[in-house]
Amino acid sequence: MKVSIFVLVLSLTACSGASEPTAGSEPSPPASASVTAPSTENEQAPESTRPPSQNFEWMTGEGNRSFTAALHQGEDFSLYVFEKFAFDAAEGRLFLERNPEYYVDIESLPANYDLMQLETAGREELERIGEVSDYSGELVEHPLGSAELYLQTSSGEGVNDYIVWQSDTGAAYLFRLHNPKGEEASDFAGPVLVSLSTVQ
Protein backbone atom coordinates (compact mmCIF):
# COMPACT_ATOMS: atom_id res chain seq x y z
CA MET A 1 0.00 0.00 0.00
CA LYS A 2 1.22 3.49 -0.77
CA VAL A 3 0.09 6.66 0.94
CA SER A 4 0.83 9.76 -1.10
CA ILE A 5 1.87 12.83 0.85
CA PHE A 6 2.69 16.13 -0.79
CA VAL A 7 4.39 19.17 0.68
CA LEU A 8 2.54 22.19 -0.62
CA VAL A 9 3.93 24.80 1.77
CA LEU A 10 6.98 25.09 3.98
CA SER A 11 4.98 26.13 7.04
CA LEU A 12 1.94 24.53 8.64
CA THR A 13 -1.10 26.62 9.36
CA ALA A 14 -3.99 26.01 11.74
CA CYS A 15 -7.49 27.08 10.72
CA SER A 16 -8.06 28.44 14.22
CA GLY A 17 -6.25 31.59 13.19
CA ALA A 18 -2.98 30.78 14.91
CA SER A 19 -0.27 30.05 12.38
CA GLU A 20 2.57 27.69 11.74
CA PRO A 21 2.52 24.78 14.19
CA THR A 22 5.66 22.81 13.41
CA ALA A 23 7.46 19.85 14.88
CA GLY A 24 10.78 21.66 14.66
CA SER A 25 12.54 24.83 13.69
CA GLU A 26 14.02 23.10 10.63
CA PRO A 27 12.13 22.38 7.34
CA SER A 28 8.55 21.46 8.08
CA PRO A 29 7.11 17.92 7.86
CA PRO A 30 5.29 16.46 4.88
CA ALA A 31 1.65 17.38 4.44
CA SER A 32 -1.17 14.94 4.95
CA ALA A 33 -3.18 13.38 2.14
CA SER A 34 -6.01 10.91 1.74
CA VAL A 35 -5.27 7.36 2.81
CA THR A 36 -6.72 4.42 0.94
CA ALA A 37 -7.67 1.19 2.67
CA PRO A 38 -4.81 -1.32 2.95
CA SER A 39 -4.90 -4.33 0.65
CA THR A 40 -5.95 -7.58 2.32
CA GLU A 41 -3.06 -9.57 0.82
CA ASN A 42 -0.63 -8.08 3.34
CA GLU A 43 -2.81 -8.45 6.42
CA GLN A 44 -0.71 -11.05 8.19
CA ALA A 45 0.43 -9.34 11.41
CA PRO A 46 -0.71 -11.60 14.27
CA GLU A 47 -1.67 -8.80 16.65
CA SER A 48 -3.31 -6.58 14.05
CA THR A 49 -5.24 -6.64 10.79
CA ARG A 50 -2.96 -3.89 9.51
CA PRO A 51 -0.29 -4.80 6.91
CA PRO A 52 3.20 -5.38 8.38
CA SER A 53 4.69 -2.59 6.28
CA GLN A 54 3.42 0.38 4.33
CA ASN A 55 4.88 2.80 1.79
CA PHE A 56 4.48 6.57 2.07
CA GLU A 57 5.34 9.08 -0.61
CA TRP A 58 6.05 12.75 -0.18
CA MET A 59 7.83 15.55 -1.95
CA THR A 60 11.33 16.29 -0.68
CA GLY A 61 14.07 18.64 -1.80
CA GLU A 62 15.20 15.81 -4.06
CA GLY A 63 11.76 15.30 -5.60
CA ASN A 64 8.99 12.80 -4.91
CA ARG A 65 10.32 9.91 -2.80
CA SER A 66 8.89 6.75 -1.31
CA PHE A 67 9.57 5.71 2.28
CA THR A 68 8.74 2.35 3.85
CA ALA A 69 7.56 2.09 7.44
CA ALA A 70 7.16 -1.09 9.51
CA LEU A 71 4.22 -1.78 11.79
CA HIS A 72 5.11 -1.78 15.49
CA GLN A 73 2.81 -2.90 18.28
CA GLY A 74 2.61 -0.96 21.53
CA GLU A 75 0.81 -2.07 24.67
CA ASP A 76 -2.57 -0.87 23.43
CA PHE A 77 -1.97 0.66 20.01
CA SER A 78 0.07 0.16 16.86
CA LEU A 79 1.82 2.55 14.50
CA TYR A 80 4.11 2.63 11.49
CA VAL A 81 7.77 3.42 12.16
CA PHE A 82 10.29 4.62 9.56
CA GLU A 83 13.97 3.74 9.19
CA LYS A 84 16.27 5.65 11.55
CA PHE A 85 13.57 5.50 14.23
CA ALA A 86 13.09 3.09 17.12
CA PHE A 87 10.00 2.38 19.20
CA ASP A 88 9.99 1.37 22.87
CA ALA A 89 6.68 -0.46 23.24
CA ALA A 90 6.83 -0.60 27.05
CA GLU A 91 7.36 3.15 27.35
CA GLY A 92 5.26 4.13 24.34
CA ARG A 93 8.20 6.20 23.10
CA LEU A 94 9.13 6.75 19.45
CA PHE A 95 12.60 8.24 19.02
CA LEU A 96 15.39 8.94 16.59
CA GLU A 97 17.70 5.96 16.82
CA ARG A 98 20.99 7.84 16.66
CA ASN A 99 19.85 10.55 19.08
CA PRO A 100 17.14 9.57 21.63
CA GLU A 101 16.82 13.21 22.70
CA TYR A 102 14.48 13.52 19.70
CA TYR A 103 11.38 11.68 20.82
CA VAL A 104 7.62 11.59 21.25
CA ASP A 105 5.79 9.85 24.09
CA ILE A 106 2.45 8.29 23.10
CA GLU A 107 -0.25 7.67 25.69
CA SER A 108 -3.68 6.13 25.13
CA LEU A 109 -6.45 8.14 26.75
CA PRO A 110 -9.52 6.63 28.42
CA ALA A 111 -12.89 7.02 26.68
CA ASN A 112 -14.03 9.49 29.34
CA TYR A 113 -10.95 11.74 29.26
CA ASP A 114 -11.38 15.36 30.38
CA LEU A 115 -10.08 17.67 27.65
CA MET A 116 -10.12 20.76 29.87
CA GLN A 117 -8.09 18.95 32.51
CA LEU A 118 -5.59 17.85 29.85
CA GLU A 119 -5.33 21.41 28.53
CA THR A 120 -4.58 22.75 32.00
CA ALA A 121 -1.93 20.08 32.56
CA GLY A 122 -0.43 20.69 29.13
CA ARG A 123 -0.18 24.44 29.60
CA GLU A 124 1.44 24.02 33.02
CA GLU A 125 3.93 21.56 31.54
CA LEU A 126 4.88 23.75 28.58
CA GLU A 127 4.89 27.06 30.45
CA ARG A 128 7.96 25.83 32.32
CA ILE A 129 9.75 25.87 28.96
CA GLY A 130 8.40 29.03 27.34
CA GLU A 131 5.43 30.85 25.88
CA VAL A 132 2.61 28.53 24.81
CA SER A 133 0.90 28.76 21.42
CA ASP A 134 -2.46 27.05 20.77
CA TYR A 135 -3.07 25.46 17.36
CA SER A 136 -6.03 23.31 18.36
CA GLY A 137 -8.63 22.45 15.73
CA GLU A 138 -8.34 21.67 12.04
CA LEU A 139 -4.77 21.74 10.77
CA VAL A 140 -3.93 22.70 7.20
CA GLU A 141 -1.27 20.63 5.38
CA HIS A 142 -0.43 18.69 8.53
CA PRO A 143 -0.22 14.88 8.77
CA LEU A 144 -2.52 14.78 11.80
CA GLY A 145 -5.27 16.66 9.97
CA SER A 146 -6.85 18.00 13.14
CA ALA A 147 -6.25 17.92 16.86
CA GLU A 148 -8.60 18.46 19.77
CA LEU A 149 -5.70 20.08 21.57
CA TYR A 150 -2.42 21.26 20.05
CA LEU A 151 -0.18 23.27 22.38
CA GLN A 152 3.37 24.19 21.45
CA THR A 153 6.38 26.05 22.79
CA SER A 154 9.14 27.10 20.40
CA SER A 155 12.44 28.63 21.45
CA GLY A 156 16.12 28.68 20.61
CA GLU A 157 16.34 25.32 22.38
CA GLY A 158 13.81 23.63 20.10
CA VAL A 159 10.12 22.75 19.94
CA ASN A 160 7.84 20.93 22.38
CA ASP A 161 4.29 19.84 21.48
CA TYR A 162 1.44 18.63 23.68
CA ILE A 163 -1.26 17.13 21.44
CA VAL A 164 -4.57 15.36 22.04
CA TRP A 165 -5.61 13.57 18.84
CA GLN A 166 -8.30 11.09 17.80
CA SER A 167 -7.64 8.36 15.25
CA ASP A 168 -10.12 7.25 12.60
CA THR A 169 -11.24 4.51 14.99
CA GLY A 170 -12.32 7.14 17.55
CA ALA A 171 -9.61 6.24 20.07
CA ALA A 172 -7.85 9.25 21.62
CA TYR A 173 -4.14 9.68 22.33
CA LEU A 174 -1.84 12.16 24.02
CA PHE A 175 1.41 12.98 22.21
CA ARG A 176 4.27 14.73 24.02
CA LEU A 177 6.82 15.65 21.38
CA HIS A 178 10.36 16.90 22.09
CA ASN A 179 12.39 18.20 19.14
CA PRO A 180 15.59 19.96 20.23
CA LYS A 181 17.25 22.47 17.94
CA GLY A 182 20.04 20.71 16.09
CA GLU A 183 21.13 19.04 12.88
CA GLU A 184 18.78 16.07 13.40
CA ALA A 185 15.68 18.26 13.77
CA SER A 186 14.60 18.00 10.13
CA ASP A 187 15.24 14.24 10.02
CA PHE A 188 12.96 13.88 13.02
CA ALA A 189 10.16 16.36 12.31
CA GLY A 190 8.65 15.03 9.09
CA PRO A 191 8.64 11.26 9.62
CA VAL A 192 7.57 11.43 13.27
CA LEU A 193 4.34 13.31 12.48
CA VAL A 194 3.50 10.87 9.69
CA SER A 195 4.05 8.01 12.15
CA LEU A 196 1.78 9.67 14.70
CA SER A 197 -0.96 9.97 12.08
CA THR A 198 -0.96 6.13 11.84
CA VAL A 199 -1.47 5.47 15.56
CA GLN A 200 -4.54 3.36 16.33
Q: Dihedrals φ, ψ of 8, to 5°?
A: -100, -25
User: How confident is the model over 25-69, as pLDDT tens digits?
Assistant: 333 444 433 333 333 333 333 455 899 999 998 767 788 888 999
Helix ranges restricted to H, 20-100: none
Confidence category of residue 190, pLDDT binned at 50, 70, 90: confident
What's the pLDDT score for residue 48? Answer: 57
**Parallel/antiparallel/unpaired status of strands 137-140 and 13-14:** antiparallel
SS3 of the chain: helix, strand, coil, percent, to 5: 15, 40, 45
Cα–Cα dist 83/67, whole Å: 8
What's the pLDDT score for residue 135? Answer: 96
Closest C-alpha among 71, 98, 60 to residue 1: 71
User: How confident is the model over 78-96, as pLDDT tens digits?
Assistant: 999 999 999 999 999 999 9
Is the C-alpha dihedral spanning 192, 196, 198, 200 positive or negative? positive
DSSP letter string, 109-160: PPTT--HHHHHHHHHHHHHTTS-EEE--EEEET-TT-EESEEEEEEETTEEE
User: Which amino acid would we find at residue 73?
Assistant: Q
| Average confidence score pLDDT of the chain | 81
Helix ranges restricted to H, the chain: 115-127, 185-196
Cα–Cα dist 51/60, whole Å: 25
